[in-house]
Amino acid sequence: MDKTWIDEYCMKKKGVEKDFKVEWQWDRYMINGKLFAAICHDKQGRPIVTVKCEPMFGQMMRTEYEEITAGYYMNKEHWNSILLDQGVPQAVIKEMIDMSYSLIVKSLPKKQQAELI
């Protein structure tokens, strides 16, 4: 799976900033400095995208797709890593990115939320 579409999808969201964390080799997507998605590689060097989800939804996705696991180097309850180039449909990945973005926006102060909504 080409990761370019994920980069484009994340960057179209309002207020998104992107950087590259050299030490981790992560492309990070943030809102006001708060991470909502990261494209990186797992221990085997396979490309993954890591996103934040509601815990019950994340657990359901992990049950449904073996390519979705607890967040790589992240809080295992709230973060999920999706193995790319495998069987997770693009629509599911987009849904998970959207949820992550929404959760981070909701965690911002009300004034910052209003600017993004």
pLDDT digits (tens, 9 = 90+) for 46-87: 899 999 999 999 999 999 999 999 887 777 779 999 999 878
Structure tokens belonging to residue 69: 């696991």
- Give the helix/strand (H/E) hosting 94: helix 90-107
Which pLDDT tens digit goes with each residue over 10-21?
A: 999 999 999 999
Q: Identify the pLDDT of residue 2.
A: 66
What is the average pLDDT value for the chain, to the nearest integer?
92
Looking at residue 19, its pLDDT comes to 95
CA 6 distance to own-chain centroid: 9
Give the C-alpha separation, 51 to 17, whole Å. Answer: 15
pLDDT at 30: 97
Phi/psi of residue 108, nearest 5 degrees: -80, 160
In angstroms, the CA 117 to CA 102 distance is 10
